[in-house]
Chain A
Amino acid sequence: MSIESQLAGSSGPLPRGVSEGVALGTGLAEGYDFYESAIGPVIVTFNPLGVSSVDIPEGFEERHSGRPLIRAEAPRAWGMGIQEAIERGTPGKLPVDLRHVTPFQEKVLRTTATIPRGEVRPYGWVAYEVDSPRAVRAVGSAVARNPIPLIIPCHRVVRSDGHIGNYSLGGPRNKVDLLHHEGAMPEMLEKLASHRVRFRGDQATGVFHHPTCHVLRRGSKLVDFRSSDEAEQVGFQACEVCRPHG
């Protein structure tokens, strides 16, 4: 046999890992992997642009629509940050891929991501923050369709009537569990809401806050308010950190 044909015949197949690496590196496929969370194991999907979804394993494949999935390690540049982002409940420096949401929904989700751990905000607050104070229902549905729960902490957005509100990641029980885990005391919130209390003022500072605001000091003498108007009428000022309004 000639050297030419021996050389030509010396090739084997394309190693399987290469096509998968190309599919993941181009984003033509999405990678996925399992992570731990306060509500049990979750599946995180990712592509070169960032994390694209977080879901519970039950029924994941039926719910997933879009690009094919390949079990893989997340990109080295930021993959190590995923577990921490889940634990802290904020993206921080972790890139998130929000290409498939509307600009309005993206604004809502970016605002939601600023709510600190251990605190909650009503849907109306998010609406106000995104300059659409009347669009409370639209905010509700944007939050409900959050593709990246836990990392974008939509569990920290609650109804102002004291109901904890719905939760897409396995139901409202998980939302209560998460808030407990973060020390946000959902029962206290429901009790306050049943008395229609929405804000609390600190007698010593003359500043009023959302009940879970971390600036509100423990052991302060508190005054309850049903609206920001009510607080301002008696000379209280809105907290600049949690920005209570409405």
Chain B
Amino acid sequence: MGFLSLMDDLTHALAADLDGTFPTLVETMGRQLFWGLRRMSGNHQEAEDLTQETFIRAYRALGEYDAERIRSMDLSPWIWTIAMNLGRNHLRDRARRPTYVELSDTGADDPEPVDDAAWDRRLSALSREQRTAVVLRHVAGLGISEISKVTGRPEGTVKADIHRGLSRLKETMEREHEH
């Protein structure tokens, strides 16, 4: 079964039984949400906090909606929109107050793939728009129209962001091989 029809079934199940189905939604979308946020922010702890907060907000919002409204929802971009809004506020808060981040702190005992630092470095060379678009497309697996909805940028611009972002990444990685 493909991801899209799985999400469709999940949407119907959520409409019928929010409490019973919500853990399945977390299982289904949690990994892509966390890793998308992780690649976007370059910060493990921040990505954990944002993932958690996004799901809690989503649960509360769904609790207010009636079944018909939930059934008509496009869950994946909706949840990503919540995450992006929270992320933006988070960045703004972080800019206002000084933070002390331990460099070795990955936030948890969870093992991270060894090339995490490399991806953080490579992705930090991209503009924020490019980084967001590339990560939403290739880490979170969203379609172009979904990314357009989430970022509020036209589809053509999203495509260009992804294209330029990937070229930039390619250059960086080729330079890595030269050294």
Contacts and interface: CB of A to CB of B under 8 A. Distances in A.
A12 B110 contact: yes
Given A10-B119, A11-B32, A23-B23, A18 B169 contact: no
A15 B51 CA distance: 10
Contact of B26 (A4, A15, A19): A19
Interface in A24-51: 25-26, 28
Contacts of A11: 31-32, 35, 139
Interface of B: 19, 22-23, 26-27, 30-32, 34-35, 39, 44, 48, 51-53, 55-56, 59-60, 107-108, 110-113, 115-116, 119, 134-135, 138-139, 141, 166, 169-170, 173
Given A8-B139, A18-B26, A25-B53, 5 more contacts: A11-B35, A12-B35, A12-B113, A15-B108, A17-B48
Main secondary structure of the interface of B (DSSP, over half): helix
Nearest to A29: B23
A7 interface: yes
Given A14-B34, A18-B52, A26 B139 contact: no
Interface of A: 3-4, 7-8, 10-19, 21-23, 25-26, 28
Main secondary structure of the interface of A (DSSP, over half): helix
A16 B170 CA distance: 33
A10 B113 contact: yes
Shortest Cβ-Cβ A-B pairs, 8 listed: A11-B35, A25-B56, A21-B52, A14-B30, A15-B110, A7-B138, A26-B59, A22-B55
B45 to A, nearest CB: 10
B106 to A, nearest CB: 10
Contacts of A4: 138, 166
Contacts of B110: 12-13, 15-17
B138 A8 contact: yes
Contacts of B44: 15
B52 A22 contact: yes
19 contacts: A3-B173, A7-B39, A7-B119, A7-B138, A10-B39, A10-B139, A13-B31, A15-B48, A15-B107, A15-B108, A16-B110, A17-B108, A18-B34, A18-B51, A19-B30, A21-B48, A22-B26, A25-B52, A28-B19
Contacts of B115: 10
A11 B113 CA distance: 8
Given A12-B113, A25-B52, A18 B30 contact: yes
Given A14-B34, A15-B108, A18-B34, A28 B138 contact: no
B134 A7 contact: yes
Given A22-B26, A25-B56, A8 B141 contact: yes
Contacts of A8: 138-139, 141
A23 B27 CA distance: 11
